Amino acid sequence: MTASEISEGAVLERARAVRLVVFDFDGVFTDNTVEVSQDGIESVRCWRGDGLGLQRLRQAGVAARVLSTEVNPVVSIRCRKLGIECLQGLPEKRTALGNLWAQGLATPDSTAYVGNDINDSGCLAAVGFPIVVADAHEDVVALAALITSAPGGRGAVREVCDLIVDSLSVDPAAERRP
């Protein structure tokens, strides 16, 4: 089932089951661009509203982590400020995702993964709620149960957090009434 074929009710059902949200960093928290100074220092652009979304997620009892192949310390610095644990410099993210499950954080079915590019494919294929950002690479779009309306670095993280938190307050019985 592709993202365009999944119903709103099915999206809410998947969101309600989530106990762990795992995010890629570049292209999800950022707009996938990098500025490089003449001294070689890199900087990225992030969406400030993501912090409130992550705070709401924590308050709802849903764990969140970042898995990134990027080695630049900007990843851990931003994650530290947002209060989200991250593993970076990963040559392959799928193994790290499996380690999160082995730690008992969640099961594959109760995990959402938010990605944007082909190095997220293994994680997207392994979770119960695969999500890609609006400007994701075309090769991963078919793996998604949901495509955010916001692009990476422009509110996609907040959108996912809000969806999951808001789904927890929806009465499933009310959804089935005509």
Regions of the chain short of the pLDDT cut 50: 1-2, 176-178
Q: Can you give the pLDDT at residue 9?
A: 82
Q: Per the structure, how many domains does the chain have?
A: 1
pLDDT at 8 (0 to 100): 80
- Asked if residue 174 belongs to a domain, the reply is no
Q: Give pTM, 2 decimals.
A: 0.91
Looking at the domain assignment, is residue 176 inside a domain?
no
In a domain, 80, yes or no: yes
Sign of the torsion formed by the C-alpha atoms of 105, 106, 108 and 110 = negative
Identify whether 178 is part of a domain. Answer: no
pLDDT value of position 42:
87
Helices 156-167 and 50-59: crossing angle in degrees, nearest 10, is 20
Domain for residue 57, yes or no?
Answer: yes
Range of the domain at 12: 3-169
The answer to whether residue 175 sits within a structural domain is: no
Q: Give me the CATH number covering residue 56.
A: 3.40.50.1000
